[in-house]
Amino acid sequence: MNRVNITPDAVDGIVFWTKNPTPMLPRLGELARYHYYFQFTLNSYAADVEPRMDSKAERIIPAFKRLSDMIGPERVIWRYDPILINENYTAAYHIKYFERLARSLRGYTKKCVFSFIDLYRSTRDGLAEFAVHSPVLEQKSMLAKSIYEIASSYGLVLESCAEDIPLEEYGVAHGRCVDADLLGKISGRRIEAKRDKNQRPACGCAESVDIGMYGTCPSGCRYCYANHSKRNAAQNVARHDPASPLLCGEIGYGDRITERRTPPLRGCRQGNIFS
């Protein structure tokens, strides 16, 4: 296992992924010395696909707006992904509900990122009963064009996440979830990070250290690639100790801890997005 230095002087910036930031909101003040932004996943799926998500209308959208009010719309990026297609969640369905969500979030975010489902083995297992199929290029292009037009009508930049298909002609750029340029604007310092070579070829993310852990989310979303079983996730959640230096469990006898050296990448100071 690795020990990662997360003191403010050692961290260029933090990217949080969330589907519900409500537990964090009262404690955002503790991050005052850090530069960060959120990738906020908000989809249009019902409880058959996202079985343990709070009500979108009553809880999640208000949480999105509250977070945006606290840190600014530039720092809350809406993720509409992954897009899965079957007889219930058709292209027409996604277009309809993407527009509803875009209308609800108008003014609370500046960018939306989308992707189409990747059917990894764990993803296929979770979606076995849903008869999900991978759309062909023509279907993907049509859907991307439609949601681009909706996004533009609400003042949103639309980007794709790790999609290896050409969508530029529809106005869709290839996105970078870990975006060194955005963190540079937030911090006021240029971050001289290279592209992360450990990611998929179509991924444009900057080099970073992932301090998350698979198999620890209790939400049970059927499309998730990071949870291989509900039982394993429940066990890991039960083992979480806020006082432990580990994300899950405790350091045991004989465990070897390696210091992971991550020198800061920030360069000279420049104007930030709030100046």
pLDDT band at 270 (very low <50, low <70, confident <90, very high): low
48: region left, alpha or beta (phi > 0 left; psi from -120 to 50 alpha): alpha
The pLDDT of residue 256 is above 90 = no
70-74, 88-92, 220-224: range with lowest mean pLDDT: 220-224
The pLDDT of residue 275 is above 70 = no
The pLDDT of residue 135 is above 50 = yes
**Across residues 246-268, what is the average pLDDT?**
76
Using alpha carbons, select from 18, 153, 137, 162 the residue that is nearest to residue 98. Answer: 153
**Confidence (pLDDT) at 274:** 42
Q: Which domains does the chain have, with CATH numbers?
A: 2-121+130-211 (3.20.20)
Higher pLDDT, 215 or 94: 94
The pLDDT of residue 27 is above 90 = yes
Q: Which of 41-55, 118-132, 220-234, 259-273 has the highest mean pLDDT?
A: 41-55
Higher pLDDT, 52 or 261: 52
**Confidence (pLDDT) at 266:** 65
Q: Are strands 173-174 and 258-260 parallel, antiparallel or unpaired?
A: unpaired
The pLDDT of residue 160 is above 90 = yes
Higher pLDDT, 101 or 169: 101
Percent above pLDDT 90 for the chain: 61
**Confidence (pLDDT) at 248:** 84
**Confidence (pLDDT) at 267:** 57
**Across residues 240-267, what is the average pLDDT?**
80
Per residue in 167-221, pLDDT (tens digit) is 998 889 999 999 999 999 999 999 988 898 888 888 989 999 998 888 898 889 9
Concatenate the DSSP letters of all residues of the chain into one string: -EEE--SGGG-S-EEEEES--GGGGGGGGGGTTS-EEEEEE-----TTTSTTPPPIIIIIHHHHHHHHHHH-GGGEEEEEEEE-BSSSS-HHHHHHHHHHHHHHTTTT-SEEEEEEPP--HHHHHHTGGGT-BPPPHHHHHHHHHHHHHHHHHTT-EEEESS--S--GGGTPEEP-SS-HHHHHHHHTEEE-PPB-TTS-TT--PBP------SS---S--TT-SS-S-HHHHHHHHHH--TTSSSSSS---TT---EEE-----EEEE---TT-
